[in-house]
Structure 1
Amino acid sequence: MNSKKYNKVAVGGTFDKFHDGHKKLLSTAFEIGNEIEIGVTSDAFGGLKGDIDSCRVRMNNLKTFFSDKSNFIVIPLDDPYGTTIFDTNFDAIVVSEETEPTAVKINEIRDSKGMKPLDIVVVSFVLAYDGTPISSTRIRSGEINQNGNFIK
């Protein structure tokens, strides 16, 4: 079934405090791809960001959110590139404005290996009530909730 623009799409992140920005990023991947691989930063790699939920919890949150879909897998990421630098079947990668440089680096690595570059699909930030991006950091600090609303 090739009804989408791309057959295999990669998307990755920490996905801590699963929020509306994550939903937009992942929904975009599902809109354009037949098969989605979601990489979630491992505890060792993701732990560099500070106090975050375990990789297992974050992966389960994604599986629960997308329980109505069957065209995806969720894998742990131990580095910024995951399987995109080995798997020739990927056609595209969905990234945020913040992580676009990583996608560019992935394409440089793929090119050096003689692999075709990925189409890079950049998803704009989802803004909170105050016009600044929703982020897990802001949610962890108690500043906003997962929908970007002020917490009283």
Structure 2
Amino acid sequence: MARVVVGGTFECLHDGHKELIKKAFELANGEELDIGLTSNEMANKRPRQVPDYNIRKKKLIDYINEIAPGQNYTILELNDPYGKTLKKDYDYIVVSPETYPVALKINNLRHEKNMRVIDVVRVEFVLADDEKPISSTRIVQGEIDIHGHLRSHS
């Protein structure tokens, strides 16, 4: 049985996030998938206002219903970077290059607790039309849309 975990703020559910979520569902293969979604308190430690947790959760559920209708998953509110990964056994943790260091830290902490390390599955950045990574920061700043298309500045 595959137990998979993925997490994020999913501020602007963009094509990079969608690749992470798709990979997590692929690995879970109908088994157990926990999706950590950062709490409002944690998300708003960023230098900008992030949409409310319930808005981000609804967009996530809508997307999951598109790509994996009827699949088994749980959305967990994250109040720290680790979620349940220091208490529960998982087979895979799906991360982006940006969150890869967090996965390494999780595995170091698990090792210290004599827990089995989690296989880290790194999904590379999805690039925008300008060959730079798609990110919520770039979207919020108006550089690109959620698909990585450059916005024309007239």
Query: Per the shorter chain, which TM-score range?
Result: over 0.9
Amino acid paired to 1:96: S
Alignment match of 2:17 (pick from 7, 22, 25): 22
Distance 2:143 2:130 in 1: 11
Distance 1:28 1:44 in 2: 27
Gaps of at least 5 residues in structure 1 are: none
SS at match of 1:93: strand
Q: TM-score, normalised by structure 2?
A: 0.91
Amino acid paired to 2:37: V
List structure 1 runs of 4+ shifted beyond 3 angstroms.
Answer: none
Distance 2:33 2:70 in 1: 10
What's 1:141 paired with? 141
Bigger strand fraction: 1
SS at match of 2:13: coil
> Could you tell me the percent identity over the aligned residues?
43
Q: TM-score, normalised by structure 1?
A: 0.92
Amino acid paired to 2:41: A
How many residue pairs get aligned? The number is 146
- Note if 1:80 corresponds to 2:81: yes
CA displacement, residues 37-90 of structure 1 (integer Å, 9 cap, x when unaligned): 1001100001112211111111111111112143111111001000011112x1
Amino acid paired to 1:42: S
What's 1:56 paired with? 54
